[in-house]
Structure 1
Amino acid sequence: MKDMKTILTNLCIITVTLFSLSGCSDFLDEKPQGNIGTTGNFYKNKEDIEYALTAAYANLQTSAMYQNNMVLMTDVRSDDLSSFSNTGGNAGREYSIKIFTAQSDNQIFRRVWQKTYETIYRCNNVIYHIDVVKDSKLKAQYEAEARFLRALCYFNIVRFWGDAPLILTPLTATEVAECERNKVTDIYAAIETDLLFASDANNLSKVFTGKNSGRATSLAAKALLGKVYLQEKKWQAAKQTLGELINTDNTGTHTLLPDIANVFSTAPIQGSSASDFKNYTGWSPQTMNKEILFEVIFNKDIAGEGRNALTYYSNQADLNEVFKLTNTAKCIYNSTDRRADLMRSMKGTNTDNNLLVKYADIQSSLEQYGYNTPILRWADVLLMYAEACNEVSFDNSATSPALLALNDVRTRSYAAGAYTGNQLFDQDTFRDAIFLERRLEFPMEMQRWFDLIRSGNAINELSKIGIIIDKDDLLFPIPNSEVTLRDNPDKFPQNPGY
C-alpha cells in the first residue's frame, strides 16, 4: 500500500502518461513521446495543453471513477439493489457500502477521492497555463472543456462528502496538505462559475463530430448547470437554464431516440432470449447518439480501453425483488413499458458473466466489453425541466411545460401512459410522478442515489428494502488518510457519524 507522501505526490505532481488512448475517441489518440510532467516547465504550447486535457478525460475511464467505483457510490448505495450478490467483493468493502457499514478506512472511498482530485489537478493545470495557447478560439475551447470536467468532479465531491477542499489552481504537495474543508456553498459557487463559462457557445462548440466526438460541449455544460441548480434547489435558475437549453440553444442537436434501447446498444432487445443474445452477430461498437450529451466512452477492441462486466447488476433475483419485474400486480413498470425489458440480465459469450440487457454486449478477443457510461442524456434534461417547472409553479393544464416534458419521456417507452392533469392534481403528486419516472428511466445510470438525496426520500425509501439509515448516512465518510494527514478537527473534521 502506498504511503500518504506517495499518494500526495501522485496527486500533485502527476505525470501525464497517455497510454493507448485511441480506442475511446480519436481526440484521445494524442500522446506525447514518453513521460512528460505536468509542472510549469512542461506547458509551452497548445499541444502540451491538449495532452494534459486528454489526461483529464482519461481519468474518467479509470476503475476508481466511471468504469466501476462511481456505480458503487450511487447505484449500489441506493434502493435499486437490495440483497446485492457480491457480498465478498474486495473483502467486503463493496458490500459494506451497500449496507451502510463502510467507514473512513474503506479503500473505495479513498480511491474515488484521490482520482477525482487528481482529475481536478489536471484540469487546474490546463486552466492555469492556458495562455500558452495562442489561437483564441482553441484557447477558449480547451479552457471550457477543463472547466466542465472540473465542475463535474466537484459536483460529485460535494454530493458525496459535503464540505471539501476547493482547489482551483495547481498546488504543491505541501500546499495540499494544508488545505481545509471549504463550505458547500463555496464549492457550488465555483461549480456554477465553471459551467457558466463552459456553457457559453462562444467558448465551446454545441456539438463535436468525427474524431472529436466525445468531448464536452456547451450544451452538455448547460445541462449539467441545470442539474447543479436542481441539486441546490435553485428552482427558478434551473427552469430558466434548462428552458433555454430545450427551447433555444439545442436547435435539434439532441432529441429522444424513438426506441430507448438504441441509446445503449445495437443488440436485439425486446423479447430476445439468452440464445439470441449469445448468437447475435450484428454487434456494432456503441457510439455517441443524439440522445447523449456526455458520456464516458470505452472501446473493447483496444487493450486497456474496455471494461469488465459489472457484477453489481448480475443478480436477476435482486432486480426482480426491487423492481417487481416478475410480479405483474406490483411491478413498478407497466407490462408494456419498453424499459422493463432492459432490466433483464443475460449471459453473453462468456458464460461466467451476466450483463443487463441495457448494457448488452459481447466480449472482444481481448475479453473486454465496450458499453459506455452515460452521464447526461436528453431524457434527463426533459425530466429535470419538468421538475424545475413544477417547483416554481404548479401547473397541470394540458399545455403545462412540465406535463409535456414528463409525458415526452414517459410515452417514448410506454405509449399509453401519458398523464392527464386530473391524475397529477397537486404539486406533491406531480413531484412524485417525476421522481418515479426518473427511477423508471435511469436505473443503473448513477442517478438514483442523487435523486433520493435531492428528493429527501433516501431514509424512507431505503427502509423499504430493509436498510435503516439516518441523516449522517447521507454523506460518505472523508477518507481517514485525509483526516489524519491534516490532524486538525477544526479545519478538517470528519463527517458526523463516522
Structure 2
Amino acid sequence: MKTKNILIQKTLIVLIATLLAGCSDYLDVSPESVWESNNFYSTPQEAEIALAGIYGVIASDEGYGRDLMILEAGTDEYYYNRRFNEDWGVSLFRNTPSDAQSFNFWTNQYQAINLANLFIESINPASYSNVEDYNALIAEAKFLRGLCYFNLTNFWNEIPLRLSSSKDQNDNNKPAASLADVYKAITDDFTFASEHLPHPGSASYVPGRAQKLAAHGLLARVYLKMSGYPLKENHYADALAHCDAVINDGYHTLTLGDGTNGYRNTFLNLIGGVYNTSEVLFEISFQNLRDQGLIGVDGRYGALNGINFGSANTFGDPNGFAQAGVYPNLSGLYDQVSDARYQWNIPSYRRTGTGDITDIGNELQVLFFCPAKYRRWEPVNYADIDIPGTEEPYVVLENSASELNRNFTSVNFPVLRYSDILLMYAEATNEVNGSPTALAIQYLNEVRSRAGLEDIAVEKPTVVTNKQLFFDELVDERSRELCFEGVRRHDLIRWELLDDKLIEVKNIVQGHPNFSAANADHQAILRGPFNFDISKHLSLAYPLIEVSINQQLDQKPEWR
C-alpha cells in the first residue's frame, strides 16, 4: 500500500512556522481555525516575509546548509574520510533508495517548490500600484523554483514536475516528466526571472537575494548541462548568449585586490559575512537569514568540511569536524608555487590540542587534509607553522553575530561567481566555433591572472590552438577555480568524465609515495572509486518513501 502524503503537511508546517514563529514581529495576524492560501500574502510586507521563508527552507540542513555538500562529494575533489562508517552514502557510491541525505534533499527542494507555487498562486496583484513590483516578486519565487528544479534534475534526471501547489494527496501523484519538459520549466522560470528581477546595481536590490544577472548566469549553466549528458542537445549558443548578457552588462567583475589576494578576498568576504556583489552573483546567506529571525537555517561550511582547530568543542572556538578529505588529484592540478588558489583551497596547517599550529604532514593524512576554502580561522603568522612546540596565535575569520559553534557557521555559500561566467563562456564558444576564440582565451587568462599565473599561451602554447586541448584545460581550470562550490559532480557527469576521473583517483592515490595498502585509512580513501558503477551512479535512486507515496512514480530499473 501507498503511505500517506507527507509533502503537503511538511510544507504547511514550514510555511506557518515561518510566518508565525520566525517573523512574528512583522505580522499582525488574526486567529484562524482554517488557513487558506488567499489569506497569506495580502500585503507586500507579508509577501516579503513569505519569500524569506522559501530562502529559509533552501538554506536549512536538508538543503544547502548540509546535505547538498554531502551529495556533491565523491568526485576527484573530495571524499568522506571517516573509515569507520558510511554516513555519506552517495559520495561513497553505497547509497540505496533509503539513503537519508538524498531523501532529505529531495523533500527539501520540493518543499521550497511547493512554497514557491503557493506564493505565485496567492500573491495579490491588487496590493501593488506598480505592476513591475508585483512581477519582481513573482520572478523571485520563479528563480528559487527554477533553482530547486535544476538541483533535482542534476541529481535525479527525470523528476515529477509540480507547477501548482499541492492541495491533497492526488496532487502528489505525478509521473517523472521527460528531461525536455523539466528543462523547459527551468528555463521558463529563469527567463522570467532574468526579465523582471532587479539589477544588482539598482537601489531596490537587496544583497543576498536573487537578481537578474544571476538568472542569466544560471541559464548559461542550465544550457551547458542540456548540451551534455544525459540530454545531449546542442545549446552551447544559448549558454554563450546568457554569459554575454552578464559580461556585457559590465556590473560584475573579478575581485582583484592587491597582487594575488583577489581570490582570497572573495572568500574572506563570504566567510566574514560581507556581500561582494561584483563577483558573487548569488549566494546562500546563512547569517542574513538568521538575522531575519528564521528558525532552522543552518550553515555547515567551514564546520563539516573545515580545518580542525584541535578543540574539544569549546564554545567560541572556530572548530571544524574535517569530515571531507581532499584527493591528491586536486592538489596536483595546481602550480603549487605560483597559484594563489592552491594556497587558499588546499590546507597547509592544523592546530593540535595543545595549541601548536603545525603543517599537515602529507596529503593522505585523512583527518587533516581537508578543504580549506571555507576556513574559519588561520595563523597570524604562517611562518610560525614550522616551529614546533609553541602555541601560535590565530585569527578568527568568521564574523558571527552569536558565539562561534563547532556545528553551525555563518559562512555564506557561493552558488554562482563571475569567474564561472568567464569559464562557461570559454567552454561554450570553444564548442560553437570548433576552437578557442580570442575572447575565450582572454577570459581564461583573466581567471588565471587573478590567481597569479601567466597567460595560457605562454605556459601551454598548444592549448590555445586546439579545441580538445582547450577543453581539457577548462576541465582542470574549473576544478582549480571552483572546487568545493557544488559544480564538479555535475560537470563531470555532463562531460561523461566521472568514471575516467575516478580511475585517475585510484591511480594517483595508489601511486602516492605515502600510500600503504595495509593502512585502513588509505583503503577507505578509495571506497568511492572502487564502488562506482557507471550503469547506476550517474543519477540517484528515487527516495523509497517518495515511490511509496507517489502512485505514478516507479523506481528506476537500475535501482530496483
TM-score category of the 2 structures, normalised to the smaller one: 0.7 to 0.9
1:436 aligns with 2:436: no
Larger radius of gyration: 2
8 Å CA contact retained: 2:462, 2:469: no
1:484 aligns with 2:548: yes
> Following TM superposition, by how much is the alpha carbon of 1:51 offset from its aligned partner in structure 2, in angstroms?
1.9
> Following TM superposition, by how much is the alpha carbon of 1:456 offset from its aligned partner in structure 2, in angstroms?
1.1
2:416 counterpart SS class:
strand
Between the aligned partners of 1:446 and 1:31, the Cα distance in structure 2 is 34
> Following TM superposition, by how much is the alpha carbon of 1:210 offset from its aligned partner in structure 2, in angstroms?
8.8
Indicate how the Cα distance of structure 1 residues 103 and 305 shifts in structure 2: closer, same or farther if over 3 A, else same.
Answer: closer
Indicate which of 346, 356, 373 corresponds to 1:344. 346
Q: Given residue 169 of structure 2, which amino acid in structure 1 is its aligned partner?
A: T
1:404 aligns with 2:442: yes
Q: Given residue 261 of structure 1, which amino acid in structure 2 is its aligned partner?
A: R
Once the two structures are superposed, the pairs formed by residues 154-169 of structure 1 within 5 Å of their partners are 154-169=149-164
8 Å CA contact retained: 1:85, 1:312: no
Between the aligned partners of 2:244 and 2:269, the Cα distance in structure 1 is 31
8 Å CA contact retained: 2:252, 2:278: yes
Between the aligned partners of 2:447 and 2:26, the Cα distance in structure 1 is 41
The more displaced of 257-266 and 135-144 is 257-266
Between the aligned partners of 1:29 and 1:340, the Cα distance in structure 2 is 45
> Following TM superposition, by how much is the alpha carbon of 1:419 offset from its aligned partner in structure 2, in angstroms?
3.1
> Following TM superposition, by how much is the alpha carbon of 1:189 offset from its aligned partner in structure 2, in angstroms?
0.3
CA deviation vs aligned residue, 1:413-461 (integer Å, no higher than 9, x gap):
0332533553333211111111111010011111110110121101111
1:153 aligns with 2:152: no
> Following TM superposition, by how much is the alpha carbon of 1:72 offset from its aligned partner in structure 2, in angstroms?
1.1
Between the aligned partners of 1:173 and 1:313, the Cα distance in structure 2 is 42
8 Å CA contact retained: 1:56, 1:122: yes
> Following TM superposition, by how much is the alpha carbon of 1:290 offset from its aligned partner in structure 2, in angstroms?
1.5
Once the two structures are superposed, the pairs formed by residues 33-432 of structure 1 within 5 Å of their partners are 39-74=37-72, 76-82=73-79, 84-87=80-83, 92-94=86-88, 96-132=89-125, 133-135=127-129, 136-200=131-195, 202-207=196-201, 212-233=206-227, 234-247=235-248, 250-258=249-257, 259-265=262-268, 284-299=272-287, 307-308=299-300, 309-312=302-305, 314=307, 318-319=325-326, 321-323=328-330, 325=331, 330=332, 332-345=334-347, 346=349, 356-361=371-376, 362=396, 364=400, 365-367=403-405, 368-396=408-436, 400-419=438-457, 422-432=462-472
8 Å CA contact retained: 1:11, 1:114: no
Partner of 2:503: 463
Indicate how the Cα distance of structure 1 residues 458 and 39 shifts in structure 2: closer, same or farther if over 3 A, else same.
Answer: same
2:558 counterpart SS class:
coil
1:9 aligns with 2:9: yes
Between the aligned partners of 2:87 and 2:496, the Cα distance in structure 1 is 26
Between the aligned partners of 2:274 and 2:21, the Cα distance in structure 1 is 17
Indicate how the Cα distance of structure 1 residues 350 and 192 shifts in structure 2: closer, same or farther if over 3 A, else same.
Answer: farther
8 Å CA contact retained: 1:141, 1:205: no
> Following TM superposition, by how much is the alpha carbon of 1:184 offset from its aligned partner in structure 2, in angstroms?
1.2
Q: Could you state the TM-score of these two structures normalised by the residue count of structure 2?
A: 0.74
Partner of 1:276: none
Between the aligned partners of 1:377 and 1:81, the Cα distance in structure 2 is 20
CA deviation vs aligned residue, 1:103-124 (integer Å, no higher than 9, x gap):
0001111110111000011111
Indicate how the Cα distance of structure 1 residues 291 and 143 shifts in structure 2: closer, same or farther if over 3 A, else same.
Answer: same
8 Å CA contact retained: 1:292, 1:376: yes
> Following TM superposition, by how much is the alpha carbon of 1:472 offset from its aligned partner in structure 2, in angstroms?
1.9
2:241 counterpart SS class:
helix
1:423 counterpart SS class:
helix
> Following TM superposition, by how much is the alpha carbon of 1:394 offset from its aligned partner in structure 2, in angstroms?
2.7
CA deviation vs aligned residue, 1:229-278 (integer Å, no higher than 9, x gap):
1111111111122112212xx233444434101111169xxxxxxxxxxx
Indicate how the Cα distance of structure 1 residues 169 and 113 shifts in structure 2: closer, same or farther if over 3 A, else same.
Answer: same
Between the aligned partners of 1:305 and 1:79, the Cα distance in structure 2 is 29
Partner of 2:385: none
Between the aligned partners of 1:333 and 1:29, the Cα distance in structure 2 is 52
8 Å CA contact retained: 1:14, 1:38: no
1:494 aligns with 2:490: no
8 Å CA contact retained: 1:207, 1:217: no
Q: Could you state the TM-score of these two structures normalised by the residue count of structure 1?
A: 0.83
Between the aligned partners of 2:77 and 2:447, the Cα distance in structure 1 is 20
Partner of 1:275: none
Indicate how the Cα distance of structure 1 residues 194 and 320 shifts in structure 2: closer, same or farther if over 3 A, else same.
Answer: closer
1:464 counterpart SS class:
helix
8 Å CA contact retained: 1:256, 1:379: no
Indicate how the Cα distance of structure 1 residues 378 and 473 shifts in structure 2: closer, same or farther if over 3 A, else same.
Answer: same
> Following TM superposition, by how much is the alpha carbon of 1:12 offset from its aligned partner in structure 2, in angstroms?
5.8
Between the aligned partners of 2:487 and 2:449, the Cα distance in structure 1 is 20
CA deviation vs aligned residue, 1:338-384 (integer Å, no higher than 9, x gap):
00011233558999997744212246525242211000110000000
8 Å CA contact retained: 2:18, 2:50: no
> Following TM superposition, by how much is the alpha carbon of 1:175 offset from its aligned partner in structure 2, in angstroms?
2.7
The more displaced of 180-189 and 133-142 is 133-142
The more displaced of 347-356 and 65-74 is 347-356
Q: Given residue 339 of structure 1, which amino acid in structure 2 is its aligned partner?
A: R
8 Å CA contact retained: 2:60, 2:299: no
8 Å CA contact retained: 1:164, 1:182: yes
Between the aligned partners of 2:418 and 2:351, the Cα distance in structure 1 is 29
Q: Given residue 221 of structure 2, which amino acid in structure 1 is its aligned partner?
A: K
1:375 counterpart SS class:
strand
Indicate how the Cα distance of structure 1 residues 152 and 129 shifts in structure 2: closer, same or farther if over 3 A, else same.
Answer: same
Between the aligned partners of 1:473 and 1:209, the Cα distance in structure 2 is 46
Indicate how the Cα distance of structure 1 residues 33 and 77 shifts in structure 2: closer, same or farther if over 3 A, else same.
Answer: farther
Indicate how the Cα distance of structure 1 residues 18 and 30 shifts in structure 2: closer, same or farther if over 3 A, else same.
Answer: farther
CA deviation vs aligned residue, 1:288-339 (integer Å, no higher than 9, x gap):
341000000122996865634433455599426332x4xxxx5543421000
Indicate how the Cα distance of structure 1 residues 20 and 470 shifts in structure 2: closer, same or farther if over 3 A, else same.
Answer: same
Indicate how the Cα distance of structure 1 residues 284 and 450 shifts in structure 2: closer, same or farther if over 3 A, else same.
Answer: closer
Q: Percent identity?
A: 24
Between the aligned partners of 1:426 and 1:456, the Cα distance in structure 2 is 20
Between the aligned partners of 2:162 and 2:24, the Cα distance in structure 1 is 29
RMSD: 3.2
Between the aligned partners of 1:450 and 1:340, the Cα distance in structure 2 is 22
2:275 counterpart SS class:
coil
Indicate how the Cα distance of structure 1 residues 496 and 8 shifts in structure 2: closer, same or farther if over 3 A, else same.
Answer: farther
Aligned residues: 459
Indicate how the Cα distance of structure 1 residues 30 and 390 shifts in structure 2: closer, same or farther if over 3 A, else same.
Answer: farther
Between the aligned partners of 1:242 and 1:332, the Cα distance in structure 2 is 26
1:295 counterpart SS class:
strand
Q: Given residue 140 of structure 1, which amino acid in structure 2 is its aligned partner?
A: N
